[in-house]
Amino acid sequence: MSRTPNSGPPRLLACAPLPRSLDPLDDESLSGYVLRLAHRLGVPPDRVIRRTGLAEIQDNTQALAKAVRSTVLPPAMATEFATATRLARAEVTALTLAGWAPYYPPIAYVLDSLRHGRRPPHMDGLFATSVRYCPACLAGDGTPVQNQHGGPWQRVWRLPVSFACLRHQRFLEHLCPACQRPFIGRSSHLVALPSIGGLHPAQCRQRLPGFTRTPRTRENVCSGRLDRVPTRPQDHPGPEILALQGKILSMLAPQRSAVTSSQYFAELQLVAALVIITWPKARPDTPTAATEAADRYIAENHGPDEKHYSNALPTDARASAAFLQAADSILTADDFRAAMLPLAPVENRTRTGIVPTRHQSWDHAFKRQRESCSWRFRAVAETLVPTHRRTGPGGRRIPMSQVGYRPEHIPAFLPQEWADRHLGSFTGLSSLILRRNAATHLVRRARGGSLHEAAQFLGIKAGEHGIGFGTKLGRWARAQDNLHAFELALDAIAADLETSPRIDYQHRRQSLADWTLTPAIWNHMVAQLQEWPGNRAITDDRKRLAVSAYTWARVTQGEYFFSPCPSHIAADPEACRLWKYHRRFTCTWLRQTDDHPHYRELKVLLDAHADQLAAAIDAVRSRPVLATSQPE
Q: How far apart are CA 132 and CA 124, in angstroms?
A: 15
Q: Quick one: which of 381, 380, 398 has its CA closest to 389?
A: 398
* Amino acid identity, position 614: A
Q: What mean pLDDT is predicted for residues 2-8?
A: 41
Identify whether the C-beta of residue 44 lies closer than 8 Å to the C-beta of residue 195. Answer: yes
For the stretch 149-177, pLDDT in tens is 999 999 999 999 999 999 999 999 999 99
Q: How far apart are CA 210 and CA 347, in angstroms?
A: 47
Q: How far apart are CA 110 and CA 122, in angstroms?
A: 9
For the stretch 240-295, pLDDT in tens is 999 999 999 999 999 999 999 999 999 999 999 999 988 988 898 888 899 999 99
For the stretch 331-357, pLDDT in tens is 999 988 888 888 887 654 445 567 767
Q: Quick one: which of 488, 486, 485, 483 has its CA closest to 348?
A: 483
88's enclosing H/E stretch is none
3-state secondary structure 457-503: HHCCCCCCCCCCCCCHHHHHHHHHCCCCHHHHHHHHHHHHHHHCCCC
Of residues 455 and 209, more confidently modeled: 455
Positive or negative CA dihedral for 80, 81, 83, 88?
A: negative
> What is the residue-averaged pLDDT of the chain?
83
What pLDDT band is residue 99 in, cutting at 50, 70 and 90?
very high
What pLDDT band is residue 625 in, cutting at 50, 70 and 90?
very low
pLDDT exceeds 80 at position 395: no
Of residues 431 and 532, more confidently modeled: 431
DSSP reduced 3-state for 322? helix
Q: What is the pLDDT of residue 431?
A: 83
Q: What is the pLDDT of residue 357?
A: 74
Residue 381: CA atoms inside 13 Å, Cβ hemisphere, count?
A: 29
Q: How far apart are CA 224 and CA 274, in angstroms?
A: 36
Q: What is the pLDDT of residue 310?
A: 81
Q: How far apart are CA 299 and CA 278, in angstroms?
A: 12
Of residues 532 and 585, more confidently modeled: 585
Q: What mean pLDDT is predicted for residues 37-42?
A: 94
Q: What is the pLDDT of residue 246?
A: 96
pLDDT exceeds 60 at position 14: no
Q: What mean pLDDT is predicted for residues 454-460?
A: 87
Q: What is the pLDDT of residue 462?
A: 61
Of residues 145 and 131, more confidently modeled: 145
Helices and strands in the chain, H and E counts: 24, 6
If one counts every other C-beta atom within 10 angstroms of the C-beta of residue 446, the result is 20
Terminal-to-terminal C-alpha distance of the chain:
98
Return all residues near 473 (Cβ < 8 A) that are at least 6 apart. 429, 433, 434, 437, 486
Q: What is the pLDDT of residue 531?
A: 79
Q: What angle do CA 402, 385, 340 make, to 5 degrees?
A: 80
Q: What is the pLDDT of residue 6?
A: 39
Residue 606: CA atoms inside 13 Å, Cβ hemisphere, count?
A: 27
For the stretch 397-416, pLDDT in tens is 777 766 778 889 999 898 88
| Choice among 133-137, 189-193, 553-557, 605-609 with the minimum mean pLDDT | 189-193
Percent of the chain with pLDDT strictly greater than 70: 84
For the stretch 458-502, pLDDT in tens is 988 765 444 544 566 767 766 666 667 787 888 888 888 888 888
Percent of the chain with pLDDT strictly greater than 90: 34
For the stretch 285-333, pLDDT in tens is 888 899 999 999 998 887 666 666 788 899 999 999 999 999 999 999 9
What pLDDT band is residue 626 in, cutting at 50, 70 and 90?
very low
